[in-house]
Every structure is written in C-alpha cells, then in structure tokens.
A = this chain, B = another copy of it.
Amino acid sequence: MIDYHAPLRDMQFILDELAGLPDVAALPACEEASPDLVAAILEEAGKFATGVLAPTNRQGDLEGCRLEGERVIVPEGWQAAYDQFCESGWLGLSLPEEFGGQGLPKLVSTPVWEMWFSSNMAFTMLPQLNVGQAEALLIAASEDQKPTWLEKIVSGEWAATMNLTEPQAGSDLAATRMRAEPDPGGDYRLFGQKIYISYGEHELTPNIVHLVLARLPDAPEGVKGLSLFLVPKYRLEADGTPGEKNDVRCISIEHKMGIHGSPTCTLSFGDNDGAVGQLVGEPHQGLKTMFIMMNEARFGVGVQGLALGERAYQAALEHARERVQGRNVVSGETGLPILHHPDVKRMLVGMRARLLAMRTFLYTAAGWFDLARHHPDAEVADRHRRYVDLLMPVAKGWCTEIGNDLCDEAIQVFGGMGFVEETGVAQLFRDARIITIYEGTTGIQANDLLGRKILRENGETLRELIDDIRACARSVGKDDRLTELATSLDEMLDTLAATADWLLAQGKERTAALYGGAVPLLHLLGTVCGGWQLARAAQAAQRQLDADEGDADYLAGIIDLARFYMASVAPEAASHARAVRDGGNVLAQFPETRL
C-alpha cells in the first residue's frame, strides 16, 4: 500500500507567498482565516487524510460496490470514515456558518479538499456532492427551503446527489427528457431515468437528497426549459424527518475502470406514482443555477488532477528512492536506487515541477474566487470574477490532463511493479481516467474557452491576462539570477499573444477550423499559466533566500523546478500554437468520410 503525506510545506509556501492568503484574510467575511488557524487546519486535515482516508483507499478499490436488489453496498470502511468526516466538521469547512458550516474562504478549503482527493478520491466524491448541492441551494433555494435542507446537507446528516445525465443527454443537457408534473398537493412528481449518478444510492445516511434536472409540462424546448428539483430518497414528514420511501429506485450500477468505491447508479424516478419533489428556484431556470455552480465544480475537478498527481508522485518518489536496480549509465556504479538513473530523475523532477505549477495556479485561482465574492471594490471583484470565468476551463481541462500524465509517469517509474495492482499506483492511474471526462470533457472545456470565454468577448480578458503575465515577466526579469525564467515566459507569451491575435482576426466562415484547434489552445494557455505561476514561485523563493528566511535548500529547489519547467515543458507552447493554427486548418478541409 502506498502512503500519503500532505505536502504541507508546499501548500503553506503557496498560500502565504503566492496565492495571497494575507489579502484574502483581510477581506470582510474571511477574517477568521488567520495564519495560525489556517496552519492548524492544514495540519489536522493532513492527519485525517493520512490516518483515516488514505488507509481505506485500496480496500475501497478492491471491494468496490455492489447492487443487491435495490440496495447499493459500498466498501465496508466508508461508514466509519464518513461518520468521522462529518463529526470532525470537515464537510462544512467552506459553507456558511448560518447553516452549520465554518465559512472559511475557498483558498483555505482548497488545500484541504486536495488532501481528501489525494488520500481517497472515490470516498471523497460523497461529501463533495454535499458541498456542490449546498452551493446550488444557497443560490437557488427559497428562504423556506433553506433551513429544511441545508442544515442536513451541510452537516452531512443526509447525503446529496446531482442528477443531470440521461442516456441521450450526456454532454448535451438540452436533450434532457425527465418530466416533472405539478401535483395537486403542491409538490411535483418526477418521471424518468438518470444515469451516471455518483452515490445515487447507499445506506450511509438516513436520507439522500437528489437534485434533479427535469422539464415542466409547459417547458420550452432545449436548455431554456430545464428546472431543478429536490427529490429525497425518503419523503419528508411534516416535521422534516424522513418518512415513506419515495418513488426512486437504483436499477443498476456501472462496472467502471476506476473509482470503484464510488457507486455510479442508474436511477429510475416515478415507476409507480411519481417521485415527489420540490421545485428549486424559478421554473425553467435550472440550467442557470447549474451554470453559476459550474466554475466551482470545474475547479473542484481540476483539484482532483493535482491531488491524484501528488499522490502518484509521492508513491513514485518513494519507490525510486528504495528500489535498487541497474548500473548508473554514467558512472557504472551499481547498488544505487533507481532515482539515480537520469531518466527516472527526469520523470520525478518533471512531475514535481508540474505539481508546483498546478498547485500555485489552482490556489491562486481559489483566491480569485474569494476576491471576486468578497472584495469591497467592485472593480477588483469583477476583475477576479472575469479571471475565474476565463481560466476555469483551463483549471479543469489542463490540470486533469496533467494529472493523468503524472499518474501515467508514476507507473513508468514503478516499471513492471506499476502494472501490478498490489503497489496501488495502478489504482491512481485508473481512478484518474475519469477526471478529464466528467464535469465536461477536455474538448468541452476547450470549446467553452475558445467560444464563450475568448471569441465572444473579443479576447478582452485574455489580453488583460497576457498584460498581467507580461508584467510578471518584467518584474522577474529584473533579477539577473532569474532572467532566463523571464525570457522563457516572455517567449511563451509572444506565442500566446500571436495565437490570440490570429484567432480574433479570423472571419466567421473559419469558425469550424478554429474549434478544431480548441484543445491545443487550452493546452497552450495551461502551459503559459503554469510557467507564469512558476516564475512567480521562483521570484518568491529568491526573495526569501535573499532575506535569509525559510529553508534555503527547499527554496533553491523551487527555483530549480521553475527552470526545469521552462526547459522541458514551456517549449511545448510553440507546438500547441502551431497545432491551433495549422492543425485546425487541415482538419476543416478533411472530409469525415475519409476516416
């Protein structure tokens, strides 16, 4: 079994020096996030992840879930882990105090959730659903509904699900068919089938609250006719306690490549008298609510990419330090651990460099969420909201792709032992394979980035971002010792700016060609963002070194990692840019019939 240890030093360095914890803690409603409290939370979370969640991860993979009649049995360790998780108050960390949460900023909850995902992703999807549903209810539920549902969801007393997908409506929610009919009693009755519902059924909690996208009888066609409903597994009594079983059944669970501990259910609503539910928000406005939540949801999956990559890196590094094999290709020496082989070292340094890039990027973005929500200056808040909008497809698409790459490289470090399930690294690789798919595939993220986030606003926010990164490069370049980093960053920026200019100069008739280059564009922007964050990290490390603060060896390592990224990852920016321009062009002229 592979261990997990929260990378507290990296987390703390990024929070303090790069992601703006002091600024966030100065915001109204975030004052509690004092340095001491944050450090204590991270430490406690690290212990919980290492001691409670990580040890159940492999067992959950081996046991998986099973359907017995309509009952879903989850891995044995889940109940104790879930109870402890809720009792320790982890679920409500970032949720409002009004409903029993702790109201801490996203910047603080982000590293904590990263730890949960690292230690046991399949399990963590369960409480994550509560957070997602709570966020939806905070946006859309009526003042009457909130106390009834939110307290149970925030405490974890009841579990939550999100019901979007149907067999014909996967990426395209416009095709949703689930019906909701008004009931004379004032509620609604739902009829239809939902698939791929994570934790759609289990017996860990006395009730499960399904948030369901469905159509009212008078709904317009397409996405503008979708409404949101709360459908509990057990209908609520007048006093709000679970009563009679609702008309919802789990009719099958999926046999998946990974996240075996997370049951993926097909739910059938209304096989009898209809599943009783409440409308949440205005009729036909369901997708709007989902859209508001989308940035948070995407961000969360991006964090999964970081988290799985981190655990894979830890496993690979430990293995590379322990496994003795082969003759050093340079010195001829034997009896050395494989970490001394240049190629193994290359993989590990590359993994760590990309982890540092992703973590700095994601934590910085977490800070943007907080600034967008709480900054008293509307202009500052708006700028951060626009950055969130522009970059969430990148946070999701790029970090999940890189997360998969890191799990893949970890197997390569293990060699044959990585292909064997016992070492645990194969599980990470299998688990990770879903993250570039759910919450919108990489292709969908890329289309969103190109269409809604760049073309629609004529590249305005992207240009703002490029100016910001340019300013960073200038600032970094002032230090002679970091000039090379600044030069590489500038070079990437030139490539990005030229690509943006080219994209924006194309006429409507060339749109198909542009979308053929959307994924390379996402990779280009991700690669630039990673380099940007590492340049910032190197600058901060150099500043601390000069001030004789912190661990000099650690800080020098940060600068080394930035250098390695610039040497080995940054050059990909140019090839992505070529694929955007030339690849899309060739594609547009390629008849599908020739495949």
Contacts and interface: CB of A to CB of B under 8 A. Distances in A.
Query: Which of A330, A419, A589: most chain B Cβ within 10 A?
Result: A419
Contacts of A347: 443
A282 interface: no
A508 B485 CA distance: 28
Interface stretch (A116-124, A285-293, A514-522): A514-522
B429 A594 contact: no
B421 A257 contact: yes
B595 A426 contact: no
A168 B340 CA distance: 17
Contacts of A340: 592
Copies in the assembly, this chain: 2
Nearest to A165: B416
B447 A419 contact: no
A92 to B, nearest CB: 30
Contacts of A513: 342
A568 interface: yes
A170 interface: yes
B518 A568 contact: no
B426 A257 contact: yes
A517 B255 CA distance: 40
A234 to B, nearest CB: 28
A516 to B, nearest CB: 4
A579 B587 contact: no
Contacts of A446: 343
A594 B349 CA distance: 9
A594 B557 contact: yes
Contact of A329 (B258, B341, B451, B589): B451
Interface residues of A, number: 98
A120 to B, nearest CB: 18
Interface stretch (A146-154, A185-193, A387-395, A559-567): A559-567
Nearest to A522: B343
A429 B438 CA distance: 18
A71 interface: no
A246 interface: no
A173 to B, nearest CB: 10
A586 B585 CA distance: 36
Given A170-B416, A171-B415, A585 B567 contact: yes
A418 interface: yes
A127 B441 CA distance: 39
A517 B343 CA distance: 8
A437 B447 CA distance: 35
Q: What are the 6 closest A-B residue pairs judged by CB atoms, nearest first?
A: A557-B594, A567-B582, A568-B583, A343-B443, A571-B578, A571-B575
Interface of A: 165, 168, 170-172, 174-175, 196, 254-258, 264, 317, 324-327, 329-330, 334, 339-349, 352, 404, 408, 411-412, 415-416, 418-422, 426, 429-430, 433-434, 436-438, 441-443, 446-447, 451, 511-513, 515-520, 553-554, 556-557, 560, 563-564, 566-568, 571-572, 574-575, 578-579, 582-595
